[in-house]
Amino acid sequence: MANKTYTLMHEHLLDTTGELLSTMPFSKITVKHICEKAEVNRNTFYRHFDDKFDLLDVIVKEALQLMANQFDVDFFLQAPFTAINQFAFPDSLSILDFQLKDKLFEEQFYNAVFKELAAMASSSEVLWLLGNMQVIRIWNNNLNKPYSFQKDYALFDQIIREKKFPGID
């Protein structure tokens, strides 16, 4: 078990990053920004996290663990993108809305979500669905004008159901 000081510092770094995420795009945040805002040195940061991407993975993992008991697998299997978009916590919704405009954050966030959902997967059906969702993300990222995962999640669910991309025969 980690000692109390370590745990408090870990939480302090997570909280500080949460504050930064409310005002600054993830792609612009550096370890230096986090350390300055938290009033710690870089060595302290690196005792807790490998880099800012590892820190974001921890934030997403902790959020998903909090809502895991509310996870409805049947609903997820029917409308996975809608289910993911409903993983909103009142305190973090505005931060998430702000950060999802940042492509680096969006990619890292969804990768972390998929990683945690794969770990929570209770069947091969869920794993196949996660794979299909990744294919949709890749397809979408290669469009000249990509759809928004935040706003167009119903379209992505339709692609899952119909197994057909818009405009492709």
- pLDDT digits 0-9 by tens, 92-136: 656 777 887 888 998 888 888 888 778 877 788 888 998 899 899
96 belongs to a structural domain: yes
Q: Across residues 67-72, what is the average pLDDT?
A: 70
Q: How much is the pTM? A: 0.71
169 belongs to a structural domain: no
40 belongs to a structural domain: yes
Domain that holds residue 134: 4-162
Given a contact cutoff of 8 angstroms between Cβ atoms, the answer to whether 27 and 105 are in contact is yes
Count of structural domains, the chain: 1
Least confident of 7-11, 36-40, 64-68: 64-68
168 belongs to a structural domain: no
83 belongs to a structural domain: yes
CATH number for 53: 1.10.357.10
Predicted local confidence at residue 91, as pLDDT:
55
Predicted local confidence at residue 50, as pLDDT:
97
